[in-house]
Amino acid sequence: MPSHPTHSPWIRLLAGWAAAVAICAAAAWPAQGQRVNYSGSLQYATGSYIFAERTHSVYLFNGLDLSHGRLQAAVSLPIIYQSSPWVSYTVVGSVPSGGPQHGAVGGHGSEGDLGGGGGSGPGRRRGGDPIVLPDTSTYADLGVGDPSLRADLTLLRGTTGPTVRLAGSAKAPVADVDRGFGTGAWDAGLGLSLSHRLGRWFLFGEALHWWLGDMDDLTLQNSVSYSASLGRVFQNGRLGVLAAFSGYTEIMDAAAPPLQTALGLNYRFGDGAYSLSTTASAGLSESMPDVSLSLGWRVTL
């Protein structure tokens, strides 16, 4: 596969994003009762998914989140490196779309409209032999993924009971589809999250309905995501351990629904204004990478 030339639009996008983050931080700084955090993570993921060839991916996420009263809002932008274009970044994570060869993976979409339906093409594969696509042994590409926004509104703040939040998320289609950095369509989700503390133990749960936009020749079905986590804190709340299980209902006809399990550690420094975290994840289905490792950080501005 031929190498891609350097694309200046993503450099301009990065510059614009940095300016937007700076403006938001400056605007929020003097507000009373308002807190702004910068967060980021570096993640490595590898898997063959439904293909004969393994894909290695590196994601550098940078984001800004703002909390004020019952409202929390966060924006994030990923910078992506991939060893093949066959895996596309979406708001629900990476999916084995086939990238520029998505017509070989499955259905025929509705030209990027929200609300994908069913259908599959001659490339349909579910539990069969891996799909063989053109060799990408010399492929390597770096670029910017689609920016995303998430907002949470606290509906019930529990003292002895759970805290319940209304959660909404959206991803804008600005990334290059053929390079595996996006799907070229809007994604959006809406649902509820719950959290509850029992002494040193924390319980988390979340369920969201996702409207996923389609690629030209590949239908991404609307999906429901679900997750459950159990955490415990040590050392006066500085160290936290979290075990999690997450999944989605079927997204693609060609692949089994995504399932994943994860184990993470988090450490808060000083008064909690700085924290580091590390997470190891294992995919339980062919829609997820086999292994993911990440290092995250969070700073209160």
Half-sphere exposure of 299 (CA within 13 A, CB side): 7
pTM: 0.78
Fold annotation for 8-300: Porin (2.40.160)
Instruction: Give the start-to-end residue ranges of the domains of the chain.
Output: 8-300
pLDDT in tens, the chain (301 residues): 434 444 444 444 445 445 444 544 554 444 556 889 999 999 999 998 888 888 999 999 999 999 998 999 999 999 999 988 888 888 777 888 777 666 666 643 333 344 444 333 333 455 556 666 656 566 778 888 899 999 999 999 877 789 999 999 999 998 888 777 888 889 999 999 999 999 899 999 999 999 998 887 788 899 999 999 999 999 788 999 999 999 999 998 878 899 999 999 999 998 888 999 999 999 999 889 999 999 999 999 8
Let me know if 6 is exposed, middle or buried by CB neighbors in 10 A (0-12, 13-18, 19+).
Answer: exposed
Looking at the chain, how many residues does it have? 301
Contact 119, 214 (CB under 8 A): no
